[in-house]
Amino acid sequence: MKPRTALAFAALCLLSGSAWMIDQFYPEILSGPLRTAAHDGFLAILFALASLRSRRKRLTQRLWLELALCGIALFALPIILATGSGGEVASLTIILISTSIPAIVVFLTAQTVFGGDDNPMRLLLPALCGLGGASLLLPFTWPVSLSGEVWFIAIILSAILSALAAIHLHRILPRAGILHALTVLCVSAAIASALCYRVGYSPILAWTHTQLLIELLRTLILEAPIFFLLIYLIREMNPIAISARYVLIPLITIIESYLVERPHAEWTTFVGVLLMAFSAAILIRTPPRDITL
């Protein structure tokens, strides 16, 4: 991995994994699809203004559509489903499902390779190690109702769609340009989320000017760099390598929470951390390759 790419990946994981600390001091004033609609809509405007100086040709209608569908699958649908489950699927269970995405990416990319020593299926075990390690740290709770089971299945399908979207983005991003792509991705996610704003909706409480300023700064200083780094890395890294973030980001959050709260740690905690770290380290080393899926 190039040093610039490695630095960008480290920054992405640290920013994403440490965001919970900000929430401890400055809770968000919006949540669920409504938050995604507001934040992604604001980011879409910023990226659109930044792309005005770009000399890249205008996107074709087909590319617009492909980017829009990827934006919904990656940024809107997971939030809509997680919020819509309304507690019927535990939040930690949803995070645990997300750690299975590297294994899904490995399986999907392996379908484009037939034989040879570099078949991605050899990475399935390390990817599953990440899921196994996460299962030692995050409790899994099976839904207790039929509706909860339906939401659970929908969230699993959303994880598969996220994997497909990331793989497809890796293939089409060189033709789009990062700023143009970010604009379309954010617009599509914002529109889809706005259409589903009633999912998990709760009345908006009055907020102060200070809270609004903090929300804007959070979007500018934290979320904008995360979005930019993510799309840049999806373009530059192998889909399997960038999927390691689904293991590494929760791992960083877990380690930081243990350092801050200092709870008693069982032996399973150390085994889980080692398995997740091992999984991420192996997946990140996956060399770039052409993805035809």
- Tens digits of residue pLDDT in 90-104: 999 999 999 999 999
Mean pLDDT within 105-120? 76
Q: Over the chain, what is the mean pLDDT? A: 89
DSSP 94-111: HHHHHTTHHHHHHHHHHT
Confidence of residue 281 (pLDDT cuts 50, 70, 90): very high
- Tens digits of residue pLDDT in 133-186: 999 999 898 988 899 999 999 999 999 999 999 999 999 999 888 999 999 999
Confidence of residue 9 (pLDDT cuts 50, 70, 90): very high
pLDDT > 70? residue 56: no
Q: With CA atoms as reference, report the closest residue to 130 among 244, 240, 266.
A: 244
DSSP tag of 74: I
Confidence of residue 20 (pLDDT cuts 50, 70, 90): confident
Q: Cβ distance 47 to 179 under 8 Å?
A: yes
DSSP 140-176: ----SSHHHHHHHHHHHHHHHHHHHHHHHHHHHHHHH
Q: Specify the 3-state DSSP secondary structure of 105.
A: helix
Q: Whole-model pTM?
A: 0.91
Q: With CA atoms as reference, report the closest residue to 172 among 67, 263, 18.
A: 67
Q: Cβ distance 278 to 126 under 8 Å?
A: yes
Rounded to whole angstroms, the Cα distance separating 54 from 93 reads 42
**How high is the pLDDT of residue 24?**
81
**How high is the pLDDT of residue 293?**
46
Q: Cβ distance 68 to 176 under 8 Å?
A: no
pLDDT > 90? residue 30: no
Rounded to whole angstroms, the Cα distance separating 220 from 181 reads 18
Kindly state the tokens that stand for 211: 């809270």
Write out the H or E segment, with its range, that includes residue 111: none
Q: Cβ distance 166 to 105 under 8 Å?
A: yes
**How high is the pLDDT of residue 86?**
81
pLDDT > 90? residue 55: no
Confidence of residue 57 (pLDDT cuts 50, 70, 90): low
Rounded to whole angstroms, the Cα distance separating 16 from 19 reads 5
